[in-house]
A and B are shown apart, each in its own frame.
Chain A
């Protein structure tokens, strides 16, 4: 009796030798408890040492192993072989330049993440000796889900607006801005507006919602962006109607 095998069709790209990416198929054993990452590790260990890819925690918290699995952005450590047929297509995340094999260039994302001022901007600088900030469970509940982002880039991969215009700040960065805007300790909302409320900010989003569908941590960046659109629209008309009011 022959054991079941899985054919992994992996998109390879060697910048030193290839003009364009091409598929290469590897046959790996099927194991009931394996995830796609295990299969890829098997390839690297046993079949082809040249295969390059990112991974780390193997438990869906580090955000390193994002890739397209049968065309869908997913974490390879979170995707079980048993849910797939005998042939699985594996490609690097969509909408990012390919560095090598399954490794993408994420510099654009890193820049955008930094641009939204992802830190608490307090009302006044507090000394350590002044003690902690106090926050009620209700205040925490307002922003908690938006803290769950692991920067895995699946949302950027799924977002057609990012595909059509890579100046779009993007789901994860905007969700992170929202996380701080909703934090009761923070007063930085207007400071973030230069990036968030700009045309390539929240206004590039057309609420496709694919980002939230693929997010492995249920951050729901689509919801974050729509909420910021409403807040920003209210701000805009307030400024128009009451220009003397300082934010």
Chain B
């Protein structure tokens, strides 16, 4: 009797389109692309700021134009998705034990969202303060 194992094909590029869970994974990973582009834009803004008022005004004009606004909406959507998915997996990466009982995942996730709100409010207040 001869053995002739058969190896099935797999698309290295499009495999993730085959199942919803893989599509969700790709969406999660792509969220980092938009976060990255946003940070590059922030860096460009800092660069403009360091080059003087004229350079900075130029930057603001481009960033606050229609393309900038559309990008901001897309970036915000993906940024929140990143936050949501990141918090969702945190309990798995850092399980908390109290004695021999595990702290339930949802509790850890909720604590993170609470921290998120606290940090966001703090930063908002800092931005708006007249110091």
Contacts and interface: CB of A to CB of B under 8 A. Distances in A.
Q: Do chains A and B touch in the complex (CB under 8 A)?
A: yes
A125 B6 CA distance: 46
Contacts of B8: 21, 94, 98
Contacts of A71: 18-19
A136 interface: yes
A57 interface: no
Interface residues of B, number: 28
Interface in A108-145: 136-138, 140-142
Contacts of B25: 160, 208-210
User: Which of B1, B3, B5, B12: most chain A Cβ within 10 A?
Assistant: B5
Interface string B71-112: 000000000000000000100111101011110000000000
Contact of A141 (B89, B92, B100): B100
A147 to B, nearest CB: 15
B18 to A, nearest CB: 7
Contact of B3 (A15, A20, A136, A227): A15
B113 interface: no
Interface string B17-40: 011011001000100000000000
B89 A207 contact: yes
B114 interface: no
Interface stretch (A27-35, A80-88, A218-226): A218-226
A16 B1 contact: yes
A55 to B, nearest CB: 20
A210 B5 contact: no
B54 interface: no
A94 B22 CA distance: 15
Contacts, number: 75
Contacts of A13: 6
A241 interface: no
Given A15-B4, A16-B2, A164 B100 contact: no
A140 B100 contact: yes
B5 A141 contact: no
A237 to B, nearest CB: 17
B102 to A, nearest CB: 7
B106 to A, nearest CB: 15
Interface in A192-238: 206-210, 212-213, 220, 222-223, 226-227, 229-230
B67 interface: no
Nearest to A97: B5
A62 interface: no
B7 interface: yes
B93 A230 contact: yes
Nearest to A140: B100
Contacts of B10: 95, 163-164
B116 interface: no
A223 B105 CA distance: 12
B89 A226 contact: yes
A105 interface: yes
A98 B3 CA distance: 10
Given A98-B6, A163-B15, A226-B93, 13 more contacts: A15-B6, A16-B2, A16-B4, A71-B19, A94-B8, A105-B5, A137-B100, A141-B97, A141-B102, A164-B12, A210-B25, A223-B93, A227-B95
6 closest cross-chain pairs (CB), A and B = A97-B5, A223-B92, A226-B93, A15-B4, A141-B100, A138-B100
Interface of B: 1-8, 10, 12, 15-16, 18-19, 21-22, 25, 29, 89, 92-95, 97, 99-102
